[in-house]
């Protein structure tokens, strides 16, 4: 575009916090900004107009895409615009720490002058003081408003009102009234809970749900984590939870879910699943994923025999199959099954069973872990900002070191608190052994039943065995039993 070369170039940044906010709309803000810029003899091209989506908060800069884009363009050398126009200083940021940092970047590094249309202030140190006072007031207003909203929501929760977004299977009716069941969605919830109770694993449930055309509350396809969240959601068992407040809700629940909910929670806590292990439904044999090579420790993969019957189905180390070591570690599937059954029966006849303990995920005080994690994230962002402030010449080396030391101390205190929350209680070994023996007995019954599916057999075996190491030379298997409560 052709620009008037006698006019300096400016930019406009526009933000409206919420849809119902009683301030000027984005169009009205932009209109007033252009009017003020024209009066100052400043041209604002279309490519330098940055308008955030409605509802974006000014408390955090990293959530504002247009703000980050504006800062990035301003950092070009030389900066393509010399002025930044705002309707109010609060549109720039409602966090004084971030406001000071980014204004310092724009003014000192980029040579950009920042102007508020509705809050004109004089140049110089006195003007900066007035600007800081305005920023302090804006941040106080934002924090106070947030506190008022939280207090209102807390009061509503204490009065057993419904305020969160409804989960899959329910719809809101408003005014804090109990949610109602959505029949079309609730059948998905029933399918997930009943399928898991019948022995299917999370991945298999997700695949089958997708095959049937089921979708999550947000209209997405299911994955194992979406299935797990539904299984763990206590709302389906009648509980309403908001932060650290919980109560028995008045919303409708159904026996098809509540009758299996507790059993499903026990199974979720009981079953051990290492990070990289596939679930049974993704395997070709119920022992796949548990068997390890005695030479290198790699997994033994299942090779199904062809229908000719000339060669039996077997397991073989995948590293040997790819030529990565010389020693074969193959074993037939039939022999594997026999050795597994033999080990389980021997374990039941032994007075002492060697086993490991796998702690279940700790159920922390409602919301406490989230608060600590959020605080740690804020500290990480602050550390990055003070580093950038030092690199950009805004802070001195002494100021940078002081700020870094203070933040690292806060970080260490929060991490120690998180460790305290996750610390496990003392174990009752006698009770553990009795429980493990009972579970092994149940696994024996399941593996011996020809009518039980391979998926249920695999899940049962995984509930007591962490891994099985096959020693080809000795012809033996070493079983690593575990318990989780």
d(CA 257, CA 253): 8
Residue 222 host element (H or E):
none
Tokens 């420790």 locate to: 297
Write the CB contacts of 289 (distance below 8 Å, at least 6 apart in sequence).
Answer: 277, 278, 280, 283, 299
Residue 211, token pair as written in the block: 């095959």
d(CA 28, CA 120): 18
Residue 281: CA count within 13 A, CB half-sphere: 13
d(CA 324, CA 157): 60
In this structure, the strands spanning 476-483 and 355-357 are parallel
**C-beta separation of 288 from 301 below 8 A:** yes
Percent of the chain as helix, strand, coil, to the nearest 5: 50, 15, 40
Catalytic residue of the set 17, 99, 116, 288: 17
In this structure, the strands spanning 300-303 and 291-293 are unpaired
CA-nearest of 347, 332, 308 to 470 is 332
H-type alpha helices, 324-396: 333-349, 368-391
Residue 424, token pair as written in the block: 């496990």
* Dihedral, 83, 84, 88, 92 alpha carbons, nearest 10: -140
Residue 31 host element (H or E):
helix 26-39
Whether 142 is catalytic = no
Beta bridge partners of 170: 181
Complete edge-to-edge strand list for the sheet that includes strand 465-471: 291-293, 465-471, 476-483, 355-357
**C-beta separation of 135 from 99 below 8 A:** yes
Active site residues: 17
């Amino acid at each position: 575009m052709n620009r008037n070369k006698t006019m300096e170039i400016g930019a406009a940044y526009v933000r409206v916090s919420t849809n119902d906010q009683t301030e000027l709309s984005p169009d009205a803000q932009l209109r007033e900004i252009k009017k003020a810029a024209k009066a100052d003899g400043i041209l604002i091209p279309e490519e330098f107009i940055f308008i955030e989506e409605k509802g974006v908060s000014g408390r955090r800069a990293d959530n504002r895409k247009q703000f980050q884009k504006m800062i990035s363009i301003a950092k070009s050398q030389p900066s393509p615009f010399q002025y930044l126009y705002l309707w109010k200083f609060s549109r720039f940021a409602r966090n004084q720490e971030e406001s000071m940092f980014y204004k310092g970047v724009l003014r000192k590094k980029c040579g950009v002058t920042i102007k508020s249309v509705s809050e004109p202030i004089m140049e110089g140190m006195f003007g900066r003081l007035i600007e800081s006072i305005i920023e302090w007031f804006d941040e106080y207003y934002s924090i106070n408003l947030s506190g008022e909203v939280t207090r209102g929501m807390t009061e509503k929760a204490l009065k057993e009102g419904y305020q969160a977004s409804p989960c899959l299977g329910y719809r809101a009716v408003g005014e804090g009234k109990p949610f109602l069941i959505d029949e079309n969605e609730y059948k998905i919830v029933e399918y997930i809970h009943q399928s898991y109770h019948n022995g299917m694993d999370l991945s298999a449930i997700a695949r089958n749900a997708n095959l049937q055309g089921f979708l999550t509350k947000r209209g997405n396809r299911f994955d194992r984590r979406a299935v797990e969240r539904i299984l763990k959601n206590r709302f389906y068992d009648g509980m309403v939870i908001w932060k650290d407040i919980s109560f028995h809700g008045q919303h409708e629940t159904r026996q098809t879910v509540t009758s299996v909910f507790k059993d499903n929670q026990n199974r979720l806590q009981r079953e051990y699943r290492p990070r990289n292990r596939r679930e049974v439904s993704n395997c070709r044999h119920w022992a796949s994923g548990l068997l390890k090579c005695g030479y290198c420790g790699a997994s033994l993969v299942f090779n199904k025999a062809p229908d000719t019957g000339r060669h039996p189905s077997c397991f073989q180390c995948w590293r040997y199959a790819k030529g990565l070591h010389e020693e074969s570690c193959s074993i037939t599937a039939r022999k594997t099954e026999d050795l597994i059954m033999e080990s389980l029966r021997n374990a039941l006849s032994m007075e002492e069973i060697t086993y490991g303990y796998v702690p279940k995920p700790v159920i922390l005080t409602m919301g406490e872990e989230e608060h600590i994690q959020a605080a740690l994230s804020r500290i990480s962002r602050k550390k990055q900002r003070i580093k950038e402030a030092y690199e950009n010449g805004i802070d001195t080396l002494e100021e940078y070191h002081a700020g870094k030391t203070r933040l690292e101390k806060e970080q260490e205190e929060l991490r120690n608190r998180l460790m305290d929350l996750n610390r496990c209680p003392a174990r009752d070994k006698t009770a553990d052994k009795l429980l493990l023996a009972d579970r092994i007995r149940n696994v024996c019954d399941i593996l011996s039943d020809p009518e039980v599916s391979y998926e249920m057999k695999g899940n049962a075996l995984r509930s007591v065995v962490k891994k099985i190491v096959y020693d080809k030379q000795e012809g033996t298997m070493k079983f690593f039993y575990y318990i989780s409560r």
